Amino acid sequence: QTGSANTNPSDSADDEYITSVSIGTPAQVLPLDFDTGSSDLWVFSSETPKSSASGHTLYSPSKSSTAKKLSGSTWSIEYGDKSSSSGDVYTDVVTIGGFSVKTQAVESATKVSTQFVQDTVISGLVGLGFDVGNQVSPRPQKTWFSNAANSLAEPLFTADLRHQETGSYNFGFIDTSLAKGTIGYTPADGSEGYWGFTATGYSVGGAKLNRNSITGIADTGTTLLLLPDNIVDAYYNNVESAQYDDSQEGVVFDCSEDLPSFSFGVGGQTITISGDLLNLTPIEEGSSTCFGGLQSSADIGINIFGDVALKAALVVFDLGNERLGWAQK
């Protein structure tokens, strides 16, 4: 068995990717943010305070004949940007891309931070990290993918995120036609809950790869490519108008700049992110100053290959072999 779901950028900056997920009987369809950097499936619900819930699509367990309260269980989670949510837990049928998990833990939000309240294009997250990262207590729950893995044709899923166009999350199979290059595999470390791996080097503008181990995570829930300062500086030294903008908390430059590409080595392959994928968006509507897709990871203590990097590749999250595959798109 397999599953295949389309995913769409949430806005003109490809800030997040939205995927429709069916929950309960009859199906309640919610727009959710798939996040390989966390391991909880949580949703805005009939239990979310009305003031916080307005504008969001809600899951109502009381309207689902297959919903069951997981009595005594609660959850609480905080994301990299200090956003947070918490609540209680139901089990229900959850269908993604035509594949159904009958008894999936669906974490219902009784509290959500302002970032989620304001982000009305999504109504929750689907964690696609490793089960060890699940935040339900007293008994941690399995992710949707972990529950599905043994029934899928292959215990893997792929992410094909695209700039301003529809991409896909495929479960149980690899559609190699989505990529131009060969898939290079490298070991994945799931011990912290996310998909950790080590890139072997980087280069700017098509130059020869600098051999340089870069340990980081493949994180569909993070917008940017976040790397060490020495690499960020090496890149922006090639961008005439680049400067750090305190208010934007990142490097900005003239939108008219012709940005160099950025490449990284992984699994014996080289993934090249084109210059235009590295110009994320004007800092404000109509501004001629643009925000860089490559930013520093210095103050977060971990390197994150987020959507800016993932957009350049077809990425295989291979649980069965504990490995990550990357192919140029």
Ligand X SMILES: Cc1ccc(-c2noc([C@H]3C[C@@H](O)CN3)n2)cc1F
User: Cβ distance 154 to 166 under 8 Å?
Assistant: no
- From the candidates 14, 33, 88, 219, give the one annotated as an active-site residue: 219
| CA R_g for the chain | 20
Which residue carries 């199906």 as its tokens?
Answer: 27
Which pair of structure tokens corresponds to residue 226?
Answer: 């976040």
**Per-residue binder mask for ligand X (CB under 6 A), 113-142, x = binder:** --xx--x--x--x-----------------
Q: How far is the CB of 81 from ligand X (least distance, A)?
A: 5
Long-range contacts formed by 85-90: CB under 8 A, 24+ apart: 85/42, 85/109, 85/111, 85/112, 85/113, 85/116, 86/110, 86/111, 87/42, 87/45, 87/47, 87/48, 87/111, 88/47, 89/136, 89/141, 90/61
| DSSP secondary structure letters along 258-307 | -PPPEEEEETTEEEEE-GGGGEEEESSTT-SEEEESEEE-TTTTSEEE-H
- From the candidates 35, 88, 92, 160, give the one annotated as an active-site residue: 35
**Would you say 80 or 190 has its CB closer to ligand X?**
80
Q: How far is the CB of 318 from ligand X (least distance, A)?
A: 19
**Would you say 33 or 47 has its CB closer to ligand X?**
33
**Per-residue binder mask for ligand X (CB under 6 A), 306-325, x = binder:** --------------------
> Rule CB under 6 A: is residue 269 a binding residue for ligand X?
no
> Rule CB under 6 A: is residue 296 a binding residue for ligand X?
no
From the list 12, 25, 62, 81, which residue makes contact with ligand X (rule: CB under 6 A)?
A: 81
> Rule CB under 6 A: is residue 38 a binding residue for ligand X?
yes
The closest residue (CB) to ligand X is 221
Among this protein's residues, is 219 annotated catalytic?
yes
User: Cβ distance 109 to 85 under 8 Å?
Assistant: yes
**Amino acid (one-letter) located at 315:** V
> Rule CB under 6 A: is residue 219 a binding residue for ligand X?
yes
The stretch near ligand X (CB under 6 A) out of 50-58, 80-88, 170-178, 278-286 is: 80-88
Q: How far is the CB of 191 from ligand X (least distance, A)?
A: 16
CA distances from 311 to 15, 156, 263 (A): 12, 19, 13
From the list 6, 83, 212, 321, which residue makes contact with ligand X (rule: CB under 6 A)?
A: 83
Distance CA 196, CA 217 (A): 4
> Rule CB under 6 A: is residue 17 a binding residue for ligand X?
no
From the list 2, 6, 57, 79, which residue makes contact with ligand X (rule: CB under 6 A)?
A: 79
**Would you say 83 or 238 has its CB closer to ligand X?**
83
**Would you say 144 or 253 has its CB closer to ligand X?**
144
Q: How far is the CB of 72 from ligand X (least distance, A)?
A: 26
242-263: b or e for each residue (b if 16 or more CB lie within 10 Å)?
beeeeeeebbbbeeebebbbbb
In eight-state DSSP terms, residue 208 is P
From the list 221, 250, 292, 293, which residue makes contact with ligand X (rule: CB under 6 A)?
A: 221
Identify which of 41, 276, 16, 179 has the alpha carbon closest to the alpha carbon of residue 8.
Answer: 16
Which pair of structure tokens corresponds to residue 20?
Answer: 């429709």
Residues near ligand X (CB under 6 A): 16, 33, 35, 37-38, 79-81, 83, 115-116, 119, 122, 125, 219, 221-222
Please identify every residue annotated as catalytic: 35, 219
